[in-house]
Amino acid sequence: MYEQTQPHTPFGKQMVSNLQLRGCPLLGIHDYPSRDSQVPRYKSLGWGSVDSWTMNQVFNRWCFADQAEFKRVVRLELLDEVEEFQLIQDHYMVLVATSREALDQPELSDGM
């Protein structure tokens, strides 16, 4: 699942408002506002293993861990506001749920 999170931060409030104005209401964001609320939701539905990461964690682990790759991506996307990009990516998450008990994937951490 790819989902927006953190509707109660200043950025999150603006994100929810902007999407609402465009006719795209985020119907579950207030019931499940964070990664921490999504994991028990999926476990309660019977999924054996559930893991989630912010998009910053995903980018840091697979895209930006290598500084040469980071510089290449920045040039491609003309990314001059890295802090703004990181703010946005902290408000999106990826969740993987499987019927297996473990995902056999390495942990992602904020520092990677």
The pLDDT tens digits for 11-20 are 999 999 999 9
Angle at Cα 30 formed by Cα 63 and Cα 38, nearest 5°?
Answer: 50
The four Cα atoms 38, 41, 43, 46 give a dihedral, to 10 degrees, of -140
Copy the structure tokens of residue 51: 């893991």
Model pLDDT, residue 110: 47
Q: Quick: pLDDT tens for 40-62.
A: 999 999 998 999 999 999 888 87
Find the mean pLDDT for residues 75-79. 67
Is residue 18 a contact partner of residue 98, using CB atoms and an 8 Å limit? no
Q: What is the pLDDT of residue 112?
A: 40
Mean pLDDT over residues 91-98, rounded? 94
Q: Determine the pLDDT at residue 62.
A: 77
Quote the DSSP letter at residue 2.
E
Asked if residue 79 lies in contact with residue 85, where contact means CB atoms within 8 angstroms, the answer is yes
Q: State how far Cα 95 lies from the chain centre.
A: 8
pLDDT higher than threshold 50 for residue 93: yes
